[in-house]
Amino acid sequence: MSRRQYGFLVGFLIVWLWLSAGFFAAVAAVVAGLIGYGVGCVLEGDVDLRDLIDRFSASRR
């Protein structure tokens, strides 16, 4: 299991156990899982944070 998959699973389970009912719980679990997946991407080095910061910051040139 990769870090991405593990991050998704942990985020999903935390929210599922915390809310444990209804449609919004399922949506929140998926969002938390995607956040965990993103953290896994960053930890594996697949995301260049400097590039993202440059894209979303105002240009000062």
**Model confidence pLDDT, tens digit, residues 45-55:** 877 778 777 87
* Whole-structure pTM value: 0.55
User: What tokens does 10 get?
Assistant: 């942990």
Cβ-contact 15, 32 below 8 angstroms: yes
Query: Where does the pLDDT of residue 57 fall: very low under 50, low under 70, confident under 90, or very high at 90 and above?
Result: confident
Identify the band that residue 61 occupies on the pLDDT scale cut at 50, 70 and 90.
low
Instruction: Tell me: pLDDT of 29 over 60.
Output: yes
Neighbours of 17 (CB within 10 A): 10
Q: Is the dihedral of CA 2, 7, 12, 13 positive or negative?
A: positive
CA distance 54 to 42: 16
